Each structure stands twice: as structure tokens, then as C-alpha cells.
Amino acid sequence: MKQVDLVILGAGPAGSAAAVTARRAGLTVALIDKARFPRDKLCGGLVTGRCAAHLARIFGQEITEDLFDTRRNFEFFLQGQDLGRLDDVPPLHLTMRHAFDARLLGHALAAGAEDFTGHRVATLDLAQNRVTLDRGEALFFKVLIGADGVQSPVAKELFGRAFDPDRVGFALEVEAPTQAASEQTPIRIDFAAARWGYGWSFPKRGSTTVGLGGLHAPNPDMKAHLAAYLDQLNTGQDAKVKGHFLPFGEAKSHPGRANILLAGDAAGFVDPITGEGIGHAIHSGELAALSAARAIQKNMPDQAFKDYRHATRPIRHAVRHARLLRPLIFTPRLQPFFARTFRTSRSLKREYMHLLSGEAEYPELLFRVLARLPAASLRNIRGKNP
């Protein structure tokens, strides 16, 4: 039996960010993950400027060549139709998650988090503030952070299920062997490669990560969409296909309860247009640890959630704004309008890139797009968001 201030379940980006921040605040931390690291996490590995800023602030992790390939060129398509290309956009960074997550975990352990990776949780007793590991050891906590991904056992324990199957997203990916990509090789985005979703091709040094994803419910034939997409790009047809859920606009309005906090995918903090989740995961992990530290300092661990819910409002708002904009991009009947506007407007493409790089926020983009939209289209999208 062991008593710590904070148990963190999940040592992905959210969990490691929480661990580093909590150690800096002087808390004792047990960091648990069922996997031993390095481990794979299915992901495009695109790190935006917004995410890079969180990495530097929280981990002191810079964008270094050993971990990232930086790209400045982008091309956009919609069902094979060329929507144009942008060169010299704000830099975006591509990484491989097995190396990236292991590096972040290294920062967390170096900061003094106790390493319980390679261990499954056997029982989770939220009433007794106790987690029991598969090897029988019991850990008692003041605050628990569930940073345990989209299928979060902590969220299941709190709410009976980790996500709403009607609103969750699903994505498929392959690692396609490619000749060495250069700094000029463009990142490719294909809107509508899946229904209410998109496809991507991320050229890295050893391979190209090709995938597509979107809302799960309208895409029962996601594998067929991927096969068609790989044929279209003429790459990766023989590579192993892997799939993973992602919360796609499903930010939980109550990401936790009392002394239990959910961070990252467990809280549903993923952008419902771009699918970006690493930045929100790291940021929410940091916020969860700070809320835990404040509540523990006041000797009122049960107050942690109230503090955390307030702190994560900007993340939930960002997800909500993106959800408002999403029908304009993904509603099938509006796609001709979207394609025409996006193809002809260089400024809209730049705006999109500034959003990805963290130099702009959704409200600016939302108002610019709404201003261009005919009234009939506005009526068309009302109530369209799944």
C-alpha cells in the first residue's frame, strides 16, 4: 500500500504533461500506463505551432531535428479536385509517436514522477481513492487524473461509458514506405475523403503516414474509403492498416468530478475539424495538475474539479467553435460551395494554416466564412451537426 498526492493513469502526452507540472508544483506523483515505452499510438504525428508552444513551456522540449521533420508546404484536394497549394506557410512539425511519447515520458520521470509503466490497473475504487495494479499493489491518491485515452477506464467508471458512439470519430492509417522526403515535400489534405472527415498524407523521413478519419457513424465503410484513397495516391496499398477511435468534437462539458479529472482524449479534447489532439492533451494535462496542486495545497482535494472545469473553458470553447464551423466544410450538399470558396481564396487557405499553426483562433475564421456564405446555405446548415 502506498499513498501519493496524485495518481495519473495514462502516460501519453496528457499524462506526461500532468506529471511534469505536478512535480514542479511539489506533488508526489505515480504515473501508470499499461504499456511499456517506447510504445506506438496510432496518430499522424502532426505537431502544430500551438502544440509546439505548449511543449516548450511545459517540458522545455524544443522542435529538434532528431524528433521532428518540419514542413512549410501544403496542398489541398477535395475528391480529387485540386484546391490549390500554399508554400512557405508557418512551420508544422511531423513526428513519430513512439519516439515522441517516450521523450515526454522521459521528461516526466526525470522530474521525479514514480514510474508505474508496464502495469495494468486491476481495480479502480473512486470512493476509496484507491487504484490497485495487476501485481496487487494498492496506490491511494488525493487526486486522480485520467489521461487514459479515448477508451478511458476512468471516464467509464465516472459515466458508465467513455464516449458517445453516435458522436465519436474513427480513423485508419498506414505507414507507407517512401523515398526520403525533403523539406519541400508538401503535406497533403483531402477534404471529404471520408464522410464528415478528411484524408492526410504526412511525408516524414522514413515513411509517409497516410490516413483518413471522420465521424464513425456515417462511415461504416471506412476501410473501403481508405483503399480508394491509397489507390488514388498510389501508395501504401500493401501496408498494414490500423484503426483507432478519436473524440471528434465530443469535449465533455464535465471532464471529471470532485477529485477525479479527465485530460486529453479522455476528456474529448480533440479539434472536430482538424483532428488535432496532442496540443489540447498536453495543455489539459498541465491544467489538471495545476488544479490538483491548488486543491491539495488548500487541503480540499474535492475542489480540484471545480477549479479544473473553469481552467479548461477555453479548450471547450475552441472545440465548440470548430463544431459550429464544421458543417460548412463537411456537409455534403455544401461541398461545392466550400470547394469553390477554398480554391479561389488564397486568404481563406492562409487563414486555415494560421489556425493550424496557432496564430489564429476559430472565431476569426468562423466570422470570415460566415460573411461569405449565402443566406440559403446558412439555413441549410442549421441543425446539421451530428
Ligand X SMILES: Cc1cc2nc3c(=O)[nH]c(=O)nc-3n(C[C@H](O)[C@H](O)[C@H](O)COP(=O)(O)OP(=O)(O)OC[C@H]3O[C@@H](n4cnc5c(N)ncnc54)[C@H](O)[C@@H]3O)c2cc1C
Give the footprint of ligand X on this chain (CB under 6 A).
Answer: 9-15, 32-35, 41-46, 120-121, 147-149, 153, 171, 173, 211, 213, 244, 246, 264-266, 270, 275-279, 281
Pick the closer one to ligand X by CB: 61 or 339.
Answer: 61
- CB 46 → ligand X: shortest distance, Å? 3
The CA distance from 284 to 311, in Å, is: 9
Residue recorded with cell 488514388: 232
The CA distance from 14 to 175, in Å, is: 24
Pick the closer one to ligand X by CB: 334 or 353.
Answer: 353
Pick the closer one to ligand X by CB: 149 or 236.
Answer: 149
- Which cell numbers in the block locate residue 208? 509517409
The CA distance from 181 to 69, in Å, is: 9
- CB 51 → ligand X: shortest distance, Å? 6
Q: Cβ contacts of residue 119 below 8 Å, gap of 6+? A: 32, 33, 34, 133, 134, 135
- CB 8 → ligand X: shortest distance, Å? 10
Reduced to 3 states (helix: H, G, I; strand: E, B; else coil), residue 123 is strand
Cβ–Cβ < 8 Å for 124, 131: yes
- CB 33 → ligand X: shortest distance, Å? 4
Residue type, 95: T
- CB 267 → ligand X: shortest distance, Å? 8
The CA distance from 200 to 194, in Å, is: 11
Pick the closer one to ligand X by CB: 151 or 341.
Answer: 151
The CA distance from 112 to 38, in Å, is: 19
- CB 43 → ligand X: shortest distance, Å? 4
Residue whose C-alpha is closest to residue 30's, from 48, 15, 46: 15
- CB 203 → ligand X: shortest distance, Å? 13
H-state helical runs in the chain = 13-24, 49-59, 97-110, 153-159, 222-233, 278-297, 304-311, 313-330, 335-344, 346-357, 362-372, 375-381
The CA distance from 263 to 255, in Å, is: 7
- CB 275 → ligand X: shortest distance, Å? 5
* Cβ-closest position to ligand X: 277
* Phi–psi pair at 282, nearest 5 degrees: -65, -45
Pick the closer one to ligand X by CB: 199 or 264.
Answer: 264
Pick the closer one to ligand X by CB: 94 or 339.
Answer: 94
Residue whose C-alpha is closest to residue 243's, from 214, 263, 279, 273: 214
- CB 382 → ligand X: shortest distance, Å? 29
Pick the closer one to ligand X by CB: 18 or 339.
Answer: 18
Q: State the SS3 of 209-261.
A: EEEEEEECCCCCCHHHHHHHHHHHHCCCCCCCCEEEEECCCCCCCCCEECCEE
Pick the closer one to ligand X by CB: 5 or 148.
Answer: 148
Pick the closer one to ligand X by CB: 152 or 334.
Answer: 152
- CB 344 → ligand X: shortest distance, Å? 27
Residue whose C-alpha is closest to residue 194's, from 216, 172, 212, 168: 212
Pick the closer one to ligand X by CB: 70 or 297.
Answer: 70
